Each structure stands twice: as structure tokens, then as C-alpha cells.
């Protein structure tokens, strides 16, 4: 599901967020203190993301993409403003609550795949169900097999991460991110370590998964080909949201 462009980005945020937003940022700011220097990584950003969207944050290095994804993923609290994810104000969460929230609602796909090397493909996908959500064994097995089949890794379950290719690792990572029925998957530069063809396959896979499971995918990229695959593109520069572009051509600056 994507949102129709109304022509007034700020107004659209305010009206729609109360009804159906998955993520709502309101004058969101993030400032890092490095010694005596304050670095404003995110400066007063407003946006909303609706359920089942396929969203990309793009921008040059240092523009704040990763910081924004980290805040949406409850890994980093905002310095000012408000950020609501699945209706919850993440600034009010402590470490434990944030971890619990992530385990419940958010899946992650990393640039370096970040599979656990001592676990097989099956066990890597199983890990969040086992260690985070405590699913019963039977349901767990069924769910993992479904996900592995969905990402085309059904016959690779017994292999260890060291025995599969980069593209296959990222497929496993996507399956792991989706296995908990997460409402959204955050992917920070998910294709940066993949060749062009594999990168396209991963993006297509993510889109297919979005269609299949209605899960929102939010990823960051600086690859023009990859960013074009997104249905909504937020362009960031120097910590500010410059533009929101929909796949129907609508643009808001």
C-alpha cells in the first residue's frame, strides 16, 4: 500500500498519521556529542510511513539515513521531537522495553548480512522465534520452513552461512527479519555488498515479501538503481528531509 500524494506533504502527515501511520516523525532531531562538538545528524524531520509501504531513504554519505533507520528501529532514541512507531513513542522506552519492542514488531536486514556463523541457515531464521519470541517447536519449524521456501532457500536449511553466497545470505537475513511476523523490516544498505544483479534480486524479493506478508520495508541506499525500486523515496541531505517522492511521480520538497 502506498499513499496518494495530496500536494501538501506537511498537512498530509498531520491528517493521516492519526488514522493509519506505522511510523510518525514530528520535528525529529538527533544530535551526537563528539567531545565538545555537537553534530546535528537529524534536524527537525517530519514524515509518516504507512503499513505495507516499500520505502527508501536515500542521500549521500553522512546525510542521516542510518541515524534515521536506527531511530525507527528503536536502537537510538531521538534527542528532540517525537517518533512514534506502531503507535508507541520510542523516546520513552528503556533498553529492555526497546529490545522487547524490536523483537515484537521490527525485523532487521544488515549490509553485512550478520548471520550467526555457528548456526545453520534454518537455525539462523529460527533464532528470533527461539530466543526472542519463544514459539513452540512445531509452529516454529513450520514457520521457518515457510519463510525459507518463500525466499527460495528451502533446500539450503542445513548449510552454514560460510557455505552459501552473499545473495543467499541476504535472502536468509530477509527470512529472519520476517519470521516473527514483524510489522516492518528495516534494511540499512541491504545491497551494498552485493553485485548489481543480486542486488536487484534481493530488492525484488523484499518487494515480493511485502506483497505476500503486508510487511513494511524501509531501506536506505545510495544506489540509484536500487532506490528507484522503492515506492516512496525520502531524500535526505545534511540531516534534513529534502524531498518525498512517490512512485506515481508525486514529489514534495
List of residues contacting another protein (CB under 8 A)? 70, 73, 75-76, 95-96, 99-104, 106-108, 110, 112, 114, 116-119, 127-128, 130-132, 176-177, 180
Q: Please state the φ and ψ torsions of residue 117, each to the nearest 5 degrees.
A: -65, -25
Q: Which is nearer to another protein, 95 or 138 (CB)?
A: 95
Least separation in angstroms between residue 132's CB and another protein is 4
Nearest to 239 by CA among 40, 13, 70: 40
Least separation in angstroms between residue 7's CB and another protein is 37
Q: Which is nearer to another protein, 76 or 231 (CB)?
A: 76
Q: From CA 236, how far away is CA 81, in angstroms rounded?
A: 17
Least separation in angstroms between residue 75's CB and another protein is 5
Q: Which is nearer to another protein, 20 or 116 (CB)?
A: 116
The partner residues of 33 in beta bridges, in order of sequence, read 38
Cα dist from 176 to 40, 113, 137, 171, 216, whole Å: 33, 10, 16, 9, 15
Least separation in angstroms between residue 177's CB and another protein is 8
Q: From CA 122, how far away is CA 147, in angstroms rounded?
A: 10
Least separation in angstroms between residue 29's CB and another protein is 17
With 0-12 / 13-18 / 19 or more C-beta atoms within 10 angstroms meaning exposed / middle / buried, residue 43 is middle
Q: Which is nearer to another protein, 99 or 192 (CB)?
A: 99
Q: Which is nearer to another protein, 112 or 247 (CB)?
A: 112
Residue 212 cell numbers, joined: 505476500
Amino acid at each position: 500500500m502506498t499513499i496518494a500524494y495530496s500536494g501538501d506533504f506537511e498537512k498530509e502527515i498531520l491528517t493521516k498519521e492519526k488514522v493509519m501511520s506505522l511510523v510518525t516523525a514530528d520535528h525529529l532531531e538527533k544530535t551526537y556529542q563528539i567531545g565538545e562538538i555537537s553534530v546535528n545528524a537529524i534536524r527537525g524531520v517530519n514524515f509518516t510511513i504507512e503499513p505495507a509501504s516499500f520505502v527508501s531513504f536515500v542521500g549521500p554519505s553522512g546525510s542521516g539515513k542510518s541515524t534515521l533507520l536506527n531511530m525507527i528501529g528503536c536502537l537510538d532514541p531521538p534527542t528532540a521531537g517525537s517518533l512514534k512507531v506502531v503507535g508507541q513513542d520510542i523516546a520513552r522506552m528503556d533498553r529492555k522495553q526497546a529490545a522487547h519492542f524490536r523483537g515484537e514488531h521490527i525485523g532487521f536486514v544488515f549490509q553485512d548480512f550478520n548471520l550467526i556463523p555457528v548456526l545453520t541457515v534454518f537455525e539462523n531464521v529460527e533464532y528470533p522465534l527461539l530466543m526472542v519470541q519463544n514459539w513452540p517447536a512445531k509452529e516454529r519449524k513450520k514457520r521457518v520452513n515457510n519463510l525459507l521456501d518463500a525466499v527460495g532457500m528451502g533446500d539450503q536449511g542445513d548449510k552454514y552461512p560460510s557455505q552459501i553466497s552473499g545473495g543467499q545470505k541476504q535472502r536468509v537475513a530477509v527470512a529472519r527479519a520476517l519470521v516473527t511476523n514483524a510489522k516492518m523490516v528495516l534494511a540499512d544498505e541491504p545491497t551494498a555488498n552485493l553485485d548489481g544483479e543480486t542486488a536487484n534480486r534481493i530488492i525484488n524479493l523484499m518487494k515480493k515479501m511485502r506483497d505476500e506478508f503486508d510487511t513494511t520495508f524501509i531501506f536506505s541506499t545510495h544506489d540509484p538503481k536500487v532506490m528507484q525500486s522503492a515506492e516512496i523515496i525520502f531524500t535526505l541531505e545534511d540531516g534534513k528531509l529534502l524531498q518525498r517522492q512517490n512512485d506515481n511521480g508525486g514529489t514534495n520538497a
